[in-house]
Amino acid sequence: MKRGIEVTVNGTLHKLSIEPRETLLEIIRNRLDLTGSKLGCDQQVCGTCTVLLDSLPVSSCSVLGVDAHGCEVLTIEGLATDGELHVIQQAFIEQGAFQCAFCTPGMILAVKALKDQIPNPSEEQIRHFLAGNLCRCGCHMEILEVARSLL
Ligand code: FES
Ligand code: FES
């Protein structure tokens, strides 16, 4: 039986009727047409589906939509403002911290959460915080450099 939820995504409130088994990632991609968040492993391992749920990074492939009821979600599409890229997006571009970019939306949101939550993080804290986001193209050193440059 379908369930009604209310979830705010990128500042817009959505009232949805969803299946209990639907994941937050499915809702974001299939119902709201926000396709920046990617499905990789579907097992809470790779981080390509990372979004911020009430400001905390989560693997949206492993969060049920019903559990997002009443929450605020930020996806990569909500990061730029008035056509201006967020400083983290700009840094990824300027420092070439990607190849195929499949991991990049999740990486950027993970860096944002780190930046928001831990002022002046240590190298160990940066690596620990980003450990849940994998880059199959092997851009981890460049991504770490972006994170260090912004924190
Ligand atoms: S697709 Fe969600 S963690 Fe890999
Ligand atoms: S840039 Fe290709 S997976 Fe990270």
pLDDT 10s digits, 101-118? 999 999 999 999 999 999
**Shortest CA distance to 108 belongs to which of 48, 45, 22?**
48
What is the C-alpha to C-alpha distance for residues 92 and 98, in angstroms, rounded to an integer?
Answer: 7
Ligand 2 centroid, distance to 103 Cα (angstroms): 5
Q: What is the CATH number of the domain that holds 98?
A: 1.10.150.120
Q: Is the CB of 136 under 6 A from ligand 2?
A: yes
User: Are residues 97 and 30 located together in one domain of the fold?
Assistant: no
* Banded pLDDT at 151 (limits 50, 70, 90): confident
- In sequence order, what are the residues at sequence separation of 6 or more whose Cβ sits closer than 8 angstroms to the Cβ of residue 114? 121, 125, 126, 129, 130, 147, 151
Q: Which atom of ligand 1 is nearest to the CA of 45?
A: 3
97 in Cβ contact with 143 (< 8 Å): yes
User: Are residues 96 and 113 located together in one domain of the fold?
Assistant: yes
User: Are residues 8 and 48 located together in one domain of the fold?
Assistant: yes
Domains: count for the chain? 2
| Domain limit, last residue, from 78, 96, 129 | 78
| Domain limit, last residue, from 37, 56, 78 | 78
Provide the whole-model pTM. Answer: 0.96
Instruction: State the residue range of the domain holding 71.
Output: 3-78
